[in-house]
Amino acid sequence: MILAWLNLAGALQSAEGARVVSFHGFDDCIELKNKTARVVLCPAVGGRVLEFSIQGKNALWLSPEEVGKTNGASAGRFDIGPERILPQHNVLFRGAYKGEIVGARSAKLTSGRDTSSGFQIVREFSLATDTTHLICKQTVINISKETRQVCYWCRTFALGQGICVVPVSGFSRLPQKYVMYDDHLVINFAAENDSITERDGFIIVDGPPVKPKLGFDSMSGWMAYLMRNDLMFVKKWPTFPKRVYGEMASLTLSIWYPAKRPMCELEPIGPREILKPGQRASFTEEWFLTPYMYPGSGPDVNLSTVNSISKKLMEPAK
């Protein structure tokens, strides 16, 4: 079953740590693998990451109901914003991508041309030689005849009911250092909730808040997510204090944490890009994974340990 636009004729069919595999009902997935980590990419539906795992444990929530279906939208999704400004763009979010193995533990996924938004997307993934470090680079190309605005927006579904740890050192425009969206229509800048606490320069989200969507303006450029399967998922991304962020609350990160659901959405957001016809803009997000015993509750989180482990993971390779 070939569902994606996967053209291997004249291209690499495999490379060191990279090969085409069948996974979750799709015969055209691309596996990137080293002795520590495994990544599975899905060109067929939205150019997603279906698996990011160590020791057989997947950090991503992958719906069991989406096996082989072309309308799926779980696991490691990527997108563009600003939300509520761009028109619906299913060619980019759910459509088939062209998948290519481009080198050792490296692959490229290219979307179709989306006329509704005026953009095309190229995603490049590279897994480190022997660690869990995964580089995810998204390039957006303005294929329209008009100048358009856009921003990077990741929408990763990690396993749900974990603990989010967000560093918020420095200045914030937000009284609580976060906002809560009320049904996506009202932005509450003074929301208080027992599951959200601040301690030692970190916001800790320990369980679903009253409303699931939270937004942050932190310029720290990383977060940690502690999962019940004893993994720590760390994300790192660049921030730009002197640039404009296009979401309504000028967010650099959003979290969607619904009650009684199997996923938690971790959403780094990039700055606004103003692209003339033919211009492109790129944004790189980095993922890391490490074993970490789930602490059970927010007050039990050792923030010093989480901080030191995260910083160690994010150190540039020597």
Average pLDDT over residues 84-92: 94
Spatial contact of 37 and 54, defined as CB atoms under 8 Å apart = yes
Residue 1 confidence (pLDDT): 37
pLDDT 10s digits, 101-138:
999 999 999 999 999 999 999 999 999 999 999 999 99
Q: Please, what is the Cα angle at 223 between 221 and 228, to 5 degrees?
A: 165
pLDDT 10s digits, 247-299:
989 999 999 999 999 999 999 999 999 999 999 999 999 999 999 999 999 99
Q: Is 282 exposed, middle or buried (0-12, 13-18, 19+ CB in 10 A)?
A: middle
Band of the pLDDT at 12, cuts 50, 70, 90?
A: low
Alpha carbons 265 and 284: distance in angstroms, whole number: 18
**CATH topology assigned to domain 14-305:** Beta-galactosidase; Chain A, domain 5 (2.70.98)
Could you tell me which residue, 317 or 150, shows the higher pLDDT? Answer: 150
Round the CA-based radius of gyration of the chain to a whole number and report it.
Answer: 19
Residue 8 confidence (pLDDT): 46
User: Is the pLDDT confidence value at 84 over 90?
Assistant: no
From 22-36, 58-72, 183-197, 303-317, the region with the lowest mean pLDDT: 183-197
Three-state SS at 198: strand
Band of the pLDDT at 318, cuts 50, 70, 90?
A: low
The rounded percent of the chain whose pLDDT value lies above 70 is 96
Residue 185 confidence (pLDDT): 80
User: Can you say whether the dihedral through the CA atoms of 239, 241, 243, 244 is positive or negative?
Assistant: positive
Three-state SS at 300: helix
pTM, entire model: 0.95
Alpha carbons 143 and 118: distance in angstroms, whole number: 5
Residue 316 confidence (pLDDT): 87
Three-state SS at 190: coil
Residue 3 confidence (pLDDT): 41
Three-state SS at 180: strand
Residue ranges of domains in the chain? 14-305
